[in-house]
Structure 1
Amino acid sequence: MAEGPGELVAAGEILEMLGVGRSRFRAIQQHPNFPAPYAKLSVGSIWLKADVERYIAEHRRPRPADEDE
């Protein structure tokens, strides 16, 4: 059996990963370093989770720690 490309994520999961809303995510998608979708389906685009995680690690500032923890 052939292995798949890896774990896939859609916009909803990426919103959570980035901690942003839909309009901010649309702006982030325009960033030249944001990964291209792995595929565009009738219900929307999907990305390789590893590509999105790499983008976050390389291009997003860490969120401040919650002081209540």
Structure 2
Amino acid sequence: MVRRLYGSAELQERLQVSRARVVQITSRPDFPEPFDRLAGGAVWLVEDVEAWIAEHRPWQAQGANPDES
């Protein structure tokens, strides 16, 4: 089973926000807990983050943008 993960850089790209904003978002009590913390920083399961996006940022949910591939 392949696990897909997001690190801070992937979150920045996925959410289209700055690095500082990623820190703010991931510090929210309603944001998923990291799957693990590595030397390079925390990583989150893609499905956990996508579920959070669907609930808290529906305009950015997968498939919400017709221009998204």
TM-score by length of 2: 0.77
User: Match of 1:47, SS?
Assistant: strand
Q: Which structure's residues are more often helix, by fraction?
A: 2
1:29 aligns with 2:26: yes
Larger Rg: 1
The runs of 5 or more residues in structure 2 that have no matched partner are: none
Identity of aligned residues (%): 39
1:15 aligns with 2:12: yes
Structure 1 segments (4+ residues) deviating >6 Å: none
Cα deviation, residue 61, structure 1: 4.6
TM-score by length of 1: 0.77
**How many residues are matched?**
61
The runs of 5 or more residues in structure 1 that have no matched partner are: none
